Amino acid sequence: MAGTLDGYPQHVREQVARTRELVARLHAELPRWGLVVWTAGNVSQRVVVDAAGPSGRDLLVIKPSGVTYDELTPESMVVCDLDGVLVDGGRAPSSDTAAHAYVYRNMPEVGGVVHTHSTYATAWAARAEPVPCVLTMMADEFGGDIPIGPFALIGDDSIGRGIVETLRGSRSPAVLMRNHGPFTIGPDAKAAVKAAVMVEEVARTVHVSRQLGEPLRIEQDHVDSLYARYQNVYGQGEGAPAQEKEHA
């Protein structure tokens, strides 16, 4: 199985090379954070082509299917079009490529997608119960409950449709696909990896809390306020206090 980027201009091929490096590196984060066993999870990132390629459509970079994380290199990453068809790379793409591609086709704001089977998040998915927003970290990151998506078979558009139906219009960057596991999205692959780390962390904490009794929900106006602060002020971004001082 081999494809080619020959019809794409130099700047797109350079962008693909950088994305291959990034996506290979981010795959190593999945075992590092304890989110996967064996080969059971994948990361992709969109490559914006802006009509520069033969099809005029964006591409995505994802791992090859069934290859262990310590074997993954930038060169082994595969490039697909947004129908999930292989464009460049010598191996079969991840079995979740169609799901990732569907998300990119239907959510133009999404630049990264991650899937894992991390234990606690997947345990909630197996029970088809949304993780209730009972932690400030959840309000910050997810802006509310972490929703459940429908049951869907692997390999075609079904998972992608379920992700898009559930996350379109939601503040959550994570969906727990019923009986399967978490899929996360972000403006880029790093943000989607972060959401995958966070969803496992809060799924674990809320599960532990449940062993002690019923956790208390955070009131909606507090959820809104926490979400607004974290998304706009937290860290070193635009709204961070140090930067406000600089502009004063």
Ligand X SMILES: O=C(CO)[C@@H](O)[C@H](O)COP(=O)(O)O
Residues annotated as catalytic are 115, 117, 140, 180, 234
Shortest spacing between CB 141 and ligand X, in angstroms? 22
The closest of 114, 64, 70 to 88, measured between CA atoms, is: 64
Integer Cα distance of 130 and 185 in angstroms: 17
Stretch that binds ligand X, among 38-46, 102-110, 124-132, 197-205 (CB under 6 A): 38-46
Give yes or no for residue 44 binding ligand X (CB under 6 A): no
Q: Which of 94, 118, 122, 172 binds ligand X (CB under 6 A)?
A: 94
Amino acid making up residue 49: V
Q: 201 near 183, Cβ under 8 Å?
A: no
Q: 41 near 177, Cβ under 8 Å?
A: no
C-beta closer to ligand X: residue 116 or 172: 116
C-beta closer to ligand X: residue 115 or 140: 115
Give yes or no for residue 154 binding ligand X (CB under 6 A): yes
Which residues in 34-64 are b (16+ Cβ under 10 Å) and which e? ebbeebebbbbbbbebeeebeeeebbbbbbb
The closest of 144, 149, 142 to 175, measured between CA atoms, is: 149
C-beta closer to ligand X: residue 62 or 218: 62
The closest of 226, 19, 207 to 119, measured between CA atoms, is: 207
Q: What is the crossing angle of helices 189-212 and 119-127, to 10°?
A: 70
Give yes or no for residue 65 binding ligand X (CB under 6 A): yes
The closest of 195, 224, 218, 194 to 206, measured between CA atoms, is: 218
Give yes or no for residue 1 binding ligand X (CB under 6 A): no
Paired with 42 in beta bridges are 115
Shortest spacing between CB 28 and ligand X, in angstroms? 15
Q: Which of 3, 13, 57, 95 binds ligand X (CB under 6 A)?
A: 95
Give the pair of three-digit tokens for residue 51: 């009509």
Give yes or no for residue 40 binding ligand X (CB under 6 A): yes
Q: Which of 88, 96, 145, 200 binds ligand X (CB under 6 A)?
A: 96
Q: Which of 115, 178, 190, 194 binds ligand X (CB under 6 A)?
A: 115
Per-residue binding string, ligand X, 3-32, x by CB under 6 A, is ------------------------------
The closest of 117, 150, 105, 137 to 205, measured between CA atoms, is: 137
Stretch that binds ligand X, among 89-97, 196-204, 212-220, 234-242 (CB under 6 A): 89-97
Where in 197-226 is the site for ligand X (CB under 6 A)?
Answer: none
Q: 183 near 107, Cβ under 8 Å?
A: no
Give yes or no for residue 42 binding ligand X (CB under 6 A): yes
Which residues are at the interface with ligand X (CB under 6 A)? 39-42, 63, 65-66, 94-96, 115, 154
